[in-house]
A and B are shown apart, each in its own frame.
Chain A
C-alpha cells in the first residue's frame, strides 16, 4: 500500500492502526482474567466450603479422628515457628550474600558464574531441596525431623529470592550516593552499614516477605524431611517460667505445618474432612495474602521517605 497522501487517507490509516490498540487491549484483559479469575474461583470455592467451619475451636484444637472436633492448632503453631526459623537464617545469610556480591565482589567471570548459579537456584524444584535437607540436616547433622530442619530447608529454598531482592534493592541506589560517602573518607564497610543497607531495607524486606509467602505454602520439602501429619501436642514453649526464661527446645521438636495438615485431610475419605481442608486452605491463603499485603505496605511506607 502506498503511503497516505491526503487527510482522508491519513484518517483511515489512523483508524486502522487504532484497531490494533483495541485488539491488544482485549487480548491483554483476557490474559489477565485467566489468572485473576482462576484464583478468585478457587478462593471463593474454598471460602464457601470452608468458612462455615471456621470458629474459635478450629484454631485451638488439635487434629482428631472426628472431623467435627479436629482443628489446626498444631499446624498454625508449627507453620509460625518454622517461618520464624526460616527468617532467622535466610535474612542474614541472604542480605550478607547480596551485599557482598553488589558492593565487595570484584566484577569478573567467577562472580558472573556465581550470579548465574543463584538465579538458577531460584528455579530448582523444592523437592530437590527437601532431599538435600533430608541427607544433610536430618541425618548428617542429626537435627532429626524437627522444626530446625524444616526452617533450615525453607531458608535454603528462599535464599536465592532474598539474595536477588537484596541485590536489586542495592542496585537502585544511585552511584552518586556511594561516591558522596566515599568522598568523605568512608570505608567500604561504613558505606554499607550507614548507607547501602539502610537505603535498601524496603526492597530487602519486600523480597524477604515474598520469599516467606512462598515458603509458608511449601509442602514437598517438608514432607521429604519427615514432618508428621498427625500431631496432637505443641512444641515446648519458647518462654519458661524459671531462669533463663527462654528455651530453644522447640527447635528440635517434631511438628506439622498448614499445607501438610491440609494434605492429610484431603486424603481422608470422609467428606467432613474435606471441609476441614477447605477451611485450613482458606486460613493459609489469608496468611499468604496478609504477608504480601505487609510487603506492599512496608514498601509504600519506606519508599515515601526515600526517593531518588
Chain B
C-alpha cells in the first residue's frame, strides 16, 4: 500500500512509522492494518469520506482512545528518533501526549485567561517560573500568529476571542510545549473562510518547526497544505503518496472517484 515515490527523493527523515495498525471500538474494527510513514517537518493529510476512520487514526497517535473503555489497538506506531512504539502497553499515554500535541475540530479553549490557556501545558510539566512562562507563552502566540492581536489582553477570558482566534489560541497552547508532532483534527471545519485561510497559512509556516498530521474533509485544503496525502475508506488505507501525485494522477480508481467528487 505504501508507495513513496522515488523521484521525489524526499530529504525528510522518518518521524513516525505506522505498521499494521488496527483499532477496535469494542467489537467494531475501525482501522484495518494500516501502514504508512510520517515524514519529519512535512504535512501529512488524511482524507476520506465520513466514518472512514481518519479521525480514529489520528487520535491513535497520541493515545486519545485510552481515555475511553473498550478500545483496543493492534500493530505499532513507531516514533523516531528513539524508535519507540507509542502504542505499546508499557508506554505511558501521558508521555506520548507530552511529545505529540493535538488541535481539535471545535476550538476548545479552557474557560481561563488567554495567558493561562497557553501556559497550561507548561504548568502541567511543572514550569511555574513567571519569566520562562512569559517567554514561552509569547513565543507560542507569535508562532500561532496571534500575538499581535492578544498581547494587550492576556488576562481576558479566552472566550472573548472569535472562533478563528480561539482556534489559533488552541494551536498556541499545543505549540507552547515544543511538541515533536502536531495533530490537527479537522481544525477549520467550525470556522469561516477567512479564519480557515489564516489557519492554513499557519500550518504552512509551522511545518518548518514541527511534523504535522492533519485530518480534513476539504480536499482543496489537503491539496493546499499537505506534502503527503493518505486516502482512507472504511477503515482501510487505500492510497498514500505525495500530495501532488495523489491529486493529479492517483493510482487507484477509488481515490480518483473521491477526489474528483464522483463519490463521497
Chain A interface (Cβ within 8 Å of chain B)? Answer: 106-107, 174, 176-187, 190, 194-195, 199, 305-307
Contacts and interface: CB of A to CB of B under 8 A. Distances in A.
Name the residue in B64, B94, B104, B157 with the highest tally of chain A Cβ atoms < 10 Å from its Cβ: B94
A306 B174 CA distance: 22
| Most A C-beta atoms less than 10 A away, residue of B101, B102, B108, B121 | B108
A107 to B, nearest CB: 6
B111 A184 contact: no
B94 A185 contact: yes
A187 B125 CA distance: 11
A297 to B, nearest CB: 20
A179 B104 contact: yes
Nearest to B70: A107
B19 interface: no
A182 B92 CA distance: 13
Nearest to A178: B67
Given A176-B108, A186-B120, A306-B111, 16 more contacts: A107-B69, A176-B106, A177-B108, A179-B108, A180-B108, A180-B170, A183-B62, A183-B97, A183-B101, A183-B104, A184-B124, A185-B97, A185-B124, A186-B94, A194-B123, A305-B111
Contacts of B202: none
A190 B98 CA distance: 14
Contacts of A185: 94-95, 97-98, 121, 124-125, 177
Interface in B136-167: 157, 159
Given A176-B104, A199-B111, A181 B120 contact: yes
A179 to B, nearest CB: 7
A217 to B, nearest CB: 35
Contacts of B78: none
A178 B64 CA distance: 11
Contacts of A181: 110, 120
B54 interface: no
Contacts of A195: 110
Contact of B102 (A178, A183, A305, A307): A183
Given A184-B97, A199-B111, A307 B159 contact: yes
Contacts of B95: 185
30 contacts: A106-B69, A107-B69, A176-B104, A176-B106, A177-B111, A178-B67, A179-B64, A179-B67, A179-B108, A180-B170, A180-B173, A181-B120, A182-B67, A182-B97, A183-B97, A183-B104, A184-B97, A184-B98, A184-B101, A184-B120, A184-B174, A185-B95, A185-B97, A185-B98, A185-B124, A185-B125, A185-B177, A186-B120, A195-B110, A199-B111
B102 A190 contact: no
Interface size, B (range)? 20 to 34
Contacts of B110: 177, 180-181, 195
A187 B66 CA distance: 12
A181 B104 CA distance: 11
Nearest to A107: B69
A182 B69 CA distance: 15
B55 to A, nearest CB: 12
B181 to A, nearest CB: 12
Contacts of B108: 174, 176-177, 179-180
A196 B173 CA distance: 19
Interface string B86-121: 000000001101100110101011110000000011
Top 8 A-B pairs, shortest CB-CB distance: A185-B98, A176-B108, A184-B121, A183-B102, A180-B108, A185-B97, A306-B111, A186-B124
A107 B26 CA distance: 14
Nearest to B67: A182
Given A190-B124, A194-B120, A305-B157, A183 B64 contact: yes
A15 B69 CA distance: 54
Contacts of A184: 97-98, 101, 120-121, 124, 173-174, 177
A183 B124 CA distance: 11
A307 B31 CA distance: 36
B203 to A, nearest CB: 17
A62 B111 CA distance: 50
A187 B174 CA distance: 16
A105 to B, nearest CB: 11
A306 to B, nearest CB: 4
A194 B97 CA distance: 18
Nearest to B103: A183
A64 B125 CA distance: 64
Nearest to A174: B108
